[in-house]
Amino acid sequence: MKHNIKSLTQQLTDAWNQHDVDKIVSFYAPAYVGIDVGQARTQRGPEDIRRSSSHFIQAFPDVYFASDIVAQGDRTALIWLMRGTHQGPLMRVPPTGRVVEFRGVSILTFEQGQVIHGLYIWDMAAFLRAVGLLPELG
């Protein structure tokens, strides 16, 4: 069966914007492998997605992703802007209460309608500036 991966990617983004961890996890295959520049280890399987997405939503309970999706073959590139209030620890940074905004790209590979591989590259320096740990540019 042919899956519309652009539509699936939009549904995944919608699940993030609804803060629905169960729905987020449902998009990931049991053999999923993911690399995130903000995490020390490779993510494996839906349970790692559950853990990381729950942690992220706890850090930013009002998280919202605005995104553009480019799809080709079995891959999508999700070009996103994240906005949220830093209300929980993230990357050992205690909550600051600041509204933060940063950009990133997620490259997702699908197999049989589920994400089998993910690569997440995001502007960690913008996050650190937003929470006061790096000086502002300019």
Domains and CATH numbers, the chain: 5-130 (3.10.450.50)
Threshold 0.85, pTM exceeds: yes
Q: What is the pLDDT of residues 104-134, one digit of tens each?
A: 999 999 999 999 999 999 999 999 999 999 9
User: CA torsion sign, 5 to 37 to 100 to 25?
Assistant: positive
pLDDT at 29: 98
Q: Please name every residue paired with 56 in a beta bridge, in sequence order, or none if there are none.
A: none
Residue 5 has which token pair? 């991966």
